[in-house]
Amino acid sequence: MNKQLILKKRPIGIPDHETWELTSTEIPTPDEGEVVIQTDYISLDPAMRGWMNEGKSYIEPVQLGEVMRAGTIGKVIAANKHPKYKIGDTLTGWGGVQQYIKTNGQGHFKVDTQMIPASKYLGVLGMPGMTAYFGILEVGKIKEGDTVLMSGAAGAVGSVAGQIAKIQGCKVVGIAGGPEKCAYVVSELGFDACIDYKNESVYKAIKEHCPQGVDVYFDNVGGDILDAALARLRMNARVVICGAISQYNNKTAIKGPSNYLSLLVNRATMQGMVVFDYADRYREAGLQMGQWMMEGKLKSEETIFEGIENFQATYERLFSGKKKGKLLLKIKE
Amino acid sequence: MNKQLILKKRPIGIPDHETWELTSTEIPTPDEGEVVIQTDYISLDPAMRGWMNEGKSYIEPVQLGEVMRAGTIGKVIAANKHPKYKIGDTLTGWGGVQQYIKTNGQGHFKVDTQMIPASKYLGVLGMPGMTAYFGILEVGKIKEGDTVLMSGAAGAVGSVAGQIAKIQGCKVVGIAGGPEKCAYVVSELGFDACIDYKNESVYKAIKEHCPQGVDVYFDNVGGDILDAALARLRMNARVVICGAISQYNNKTAIKGPSNYLSLLVNRATMQGMVVFDYADRYREAGLQMGQWMMEGKLKSEETIFEGIENFQATYERLFSGKKKGKLLLKIKE
């Protein structure tokens, strides 16, 4: 059988057991021009919370009754005259939270898992890695000597974006929750410092670690941390708006940045980004990051749980912070 | 005697009679290399409110006991071997709220009042006009066919920025307070429409007048209007942060824009500006705007009150909105 996680009810605030329903259908067979993929891993991303909401955003919301959207990687187990893919190919794409994916291949592409483990294609070489790459280079416009401040520094995007900034010759200060993550960010990832937002004043710590101010702030979290960063911008600073995980479960209006007039005082720019805009350059980014990985300059970690039944408990770790690097769920039993 | 308005006490919220003190000293005489200017007009600007606050901003705060900072224009009545200026020259600069200005000429420059009345040099050809010019062209990056939304549309900056956008072939929708101002913005200034924020829902009206969304929002006001504009951005929109008059008298933290994640959804940019950065291009802007004025394409209006004693009552009109175009105080008796 094919277990699928269906969006049953739009959550208000934090999703709960009424949000999804785990159902079972027959394992699909491919029609002509289609393949069926057996899902190996699914990607868990903070952005999923937005996809559950009704209304216009950068992507269509998941409809009620549909399989919950998720990035996936898995092997083709059946093919029916598909022009590009055959049994045994590993495909990554938007397969959704289900054990078997029936698709004409649109939104999927083939990857090589000989050199690089499949899980990396949902992390450092997947959406989070691409977001980090284009966000820090194209939107953040980092240059050598910049002071870069990175929220979500132990997360899938922040860990990669910060390391890229280090490779480019920036001073990089992370922000993460708890001493263990902060130690990881500094000792393993090589950031210059990491601020523990759970145990110190972020505003004061930015002042201490970035005495000249912040040239580029890469924001994955929003809320009070965004405000603290805005208060410490340097002239002509760039603020990359990549996400706002602290606000995604709000039941009321989200907290706007009270210190936004720092953009005026410091002639700074705050710019939003969505990784899909760079789709025609994913290959370029993947090759570059693959090279950095082989040279030992770019590290990545995945936290992997197992079983589609554990989707919700695993998903909650995105917001509780109980994970490091990329959060994945292994689906293949 | 030389009447001077001194900053006596830093205001919390709205400045009141305790904020300033009107004093009198001898009319100064110039030392060698100096001139004395008799102030004709002073400029009243929302930015003044920020200059009264302590603490770092884009410009030093006015110190307690100092003459209140203001843009001025007036005639040189005494000169002592000044290398550039002589009696009878008209100088505009940062003379402050006083009847006579003793200066070595720094921060002042000579203007020609034969063709253009002195008052224009504090308005359309002064800081507000320069702010409008560089804000809409350099930060807003308007191009033909763009839909431009302009808050403070009847004000000194907004009225000019909106007309420049019209000249450049944009569709321009203003936002102003009350039917009289809105009529002025459309019939006199030639905007395509004007939203009366005092009498209609700004959010709904933007939707009606900008059905495709907003390419460039020029923000002079902040607060709820900024949020309404953010909610209606078009893909790759630019938001120019020029001011936030609705927030300047706040006693608590200013209201941050709750809808800032529209920057992400729409890959939009929010950028702050300070006109001083364009000082080396004021001449270019002045020539271009002078030409538009002579061609009848760029209109400007001043609301002028009289008497340094009436500074506070006049200043309050910036925030009550009881004025049109540029607000000036005639100082010369």
* Residues B218 and B238 sit within 8 Å (Cβ to Cβ): no
- Contact list in A for residue B264 (CB cut-off 8 A) is 58, 241-244, 272-274
CA atoms within 13 A on the CB side of B251: 5
Q: What is the CA radius of gyration of chain B?
A: 20
Please judge whether A271 and B274 are an interchain contact, meaning their C-beta atoms are less than 8 angstroms apart. Answer: no
β B34-44/B326-330 pair status: antiparallel
Mean pLDDT of chain A: 96
CA pair distance A30, A37, nearest whole angstrom = 10
Q: Does B273 touch chain A (CB under 8 A)?
A: yes
Q: Would you give the distance in Å from CA A145 to the centre of its chain?
A: 26
**Do B271 and A270 count as a contact with CB atoms less than 8 A apart?**
yes
How much is the pLDDT for B115? Answer: 86
Per the CB < 8 Å rule, is A271 touching B255? no
Domain locations in chain A? 2-123+300-330, 127-276
Residue from B4, B47, B9, B10 nearest B25 by CA: B4
Pick B256's closest partner by Cβ from A256, A272, A277. Answer: A256
**Which of A227, A256, A263 is nearest residue B258 as measured by Cβ atoms?**
A256
Inter-chain touch B261–A268, beta carbons under 8 Å: no
Q: Answer yes or no: do A267 and B277 touch at CB < 8 A.
A: yes
pLDDT for the residue numbered A162 = 98
Helix, strand, or coil (residue B210)? coil
CA distance B87 to chain A (A): 37
**Residue carrying the six token digits 């939203």:** B195
Backbone angles phi, psi at A231, to 5 degrees: -65, -15
CATH fold group of domain B127-276: Rossmann fold (3.40.50)
**Over its length of 333 residues, how does chain B's per-residue pLDDT go in tens digits?**
999 999 999 999 999 989 999 999 999 999 999 999 999 999 999 999 999 999 878 899 999 999 999 999 999 999 999 999 999 999 999 999 999 999 999 999 999 999 899 999 999 999 999 999 999 999 999 999 999 999 999 999 999 999 999 999 999 999 999 999 999 999 999 999 999 999 999 999 999 999 999 999 999 999 999 999 999 999 999 999 999 999 998 888 889 999 999 999 999 999 999 999 999 999 999 999 999 999 999 999 999 999 999 999 999 999 999 999 999 999 998
Q: In this predicted structure, what is the pLDDT of residue A56?
A: 77
A262 vs B contacts (CB less than 8 Å) = 272
Q: Look-up: residue for tokens 């009545």?
A: B77
CA distance B106 to B33: 11
CA distance B265 to chain A (A): 5
Using one digit for the tens of pLDDT, what is the confidence trace for B279-332? 999 999 999 999 999 999 999 999 999 999 999 999 999 999 999 999 999 999
Helices (H), chain B: 47-51, 127-134, 156-167, 179-183, 202-209, 223-230, 262-265, 282-294, 311-320
Integer Cα distance of B202 and A35 in angstroms:
50
Instruction: Write out chain A's pLDDT in tens, 333 residues.
Output: 999 999 999 999 999 989 999 999 999 999 999 999 999 999 999 999 999 999 878 899 999 999 999 999 999 999 999 999 999 999 999 999 999 999 999 999 999 999 899 999 999 999 999 999 999 999 999 999 999 999 999 999 999 999 999 999 999 999 999 999 999 999 999 999 999 999 999 999 999 999 999 999 999 999 999 999 999 999 999 999 999 999 998 888 889 999 999 999 999 999 999 999 999 999 999 999 999 999 999 999 999 999 999 999 999 999 999 999 999 999 998
* Chain B contact for A272 (CB, 8 A cutoff): yes
Give the right CATH number for B2-123+300-330 from 3.40.50.720, 3.30.70.3270, 3.30.70.360, 3.90.180.10: 3.90.180.10
Write out the two tokens for A152: 């979500």
In this structure, what are the phi and psi dihedrals at residue B172, rounded to the nearest 5 degrees?
-125, 125
Nearest Cα to Cα of residue B275 among B32, B56, B59, B13: B59
CA-closest candidate to residue A46, choices A304, A246, A218, A330 = A246
Establish if A53 touches chain B: CB-CB under 8 angstroms.
no
Within an 8 Å CB–CB cutoff, is residue B227 touching chain A?
yes
pLDDT number for residue B83: 96
Nearest residue in B to A245, CA atom: B261
Chain A CB contacts of B247 below 8 Å: 261
pLDDT tens for B172-195 read 999 999 999 999 999 999 999 999
Of A241, A255, A265, Cβ closest to residue B264 = A241
Interface contact flag, B270 A271, Cβ < 8 Å = yes
Q: What is the pLDDT of residue A57?
A: 85
Question: Which of A242, A258, A273 is facing B253, going by the closest CB pair?
Answer: A258
Give pLDDT, residue B89.
Answer: 98
- Cross-strand partners of A155: A325
What is the residue type of A112? D
Q: What is the largest distance, in Å, between two alpha-carbon atoms of chain A?
A: 62
Closest in A222, A262, A267 to B273, CB measured: A267
| Distance between B291 CA and the closest CA of chain A, angstroms | 29
Could you identify the residue written with the tokens 């995945």?
A302
Tokens matching residue B271: 């950028």
Q: Would you tell me which residues 248-267 of chain B have a C-beta closer than 8 angstroms to some C-beta of chain A?
A: 253-267
Helix/strand/coil (H/E/C) assignment for every residue in chain A: CEEEEEECCCCCCCCCCCCEEEEEECCCCCCCCEEEEEEEEEEECCCHHHHCCCCCCCCCCCCCCCECCCCEEEEEEEEECCCCCCCCCEEEECCCCECEEEECCCCEEEECCCCCCHHHHHCCCCHHHHHHHHHHHHHCCCCCCCEEEECCCCEHHHHHHHHHHHHCCCEEEEEECCHHHHHHHHHHCCCCEEEECCCCCHHHHHHHHCCCCEEEEEECCCHHHHHHHHCCEEEEEEEEECCCHHHCCCCCCCCCCHHHHHHHHCCCEEEECCHHHHHHHHHHHHHHHHHHHHCCCCCCCEEEEECHHHHHHHHHHHHHCCCCEEEEEECCC
In chain A, which residue's Cα lies nearest the Cα of B56? A265
Residue B146, helix vs strand vs coil: coil
Q: Strand locations in B55-139, DSSP E?
A: 72-80, 90-93, 100-103, 108-111
Q: What is the ipTM of this complex?
A: 0.92
Q: Where are the alpha helices (DSSP H) in B16-119?
A: 47-51
Q: Which residue bears the tokens 């794409």? A: A93
Q: What is the reported pLDDT for B55?
A: 84
Q: What is the pLDDT of residues A18-68, one digit of tens each?
A: 999 999 999 999 999 999 999 999 999 999 999 999 987 889 999 999 999
What integer best gives the mean pLDDT of chain B?
A: 96
Q: Flag whether residue A231 sits within 8 Å of chain B, measured between CB atoms.
A: no
Triad A172, A174, A176: Cα angle to 5°: 170
Non-local (6+) Cβ contacts of B200 within 8 A are none
Distance CA B245, CA A313 (A): 47
Radius of gyration of chain A (CA): 20
Q: Cβ separation of A257 and B259 shorter than 8 Å? A: no
Tell how strand A72-80 and strand A2-7 pair up. Answer: unpaired
CB–CB contact B241 A264 (8 Å): yes
Helix (H) or strand (E) holding B147: strand B147-150
DSSP symbol at B219: E
How far is Cα B257 from Cα B151, in angstroms, rounded to an integer?
15
User: Cβ B265–A272 below 8 Å, yes or no?
Assistant: yes
- State how far the Cα of B29 lies from the Cα of B198, in Å rounded to an integer: 50
- How far away is chain B from the Cα of A234, in angstroms, using its nearest Cα? 12
Q: Does B228 touch chain A (CB under 8 A)?
A: no
- The torsion region of residue B280 among left (phi > 0), alpha (psi -120 to 50) and beta comes to alpha
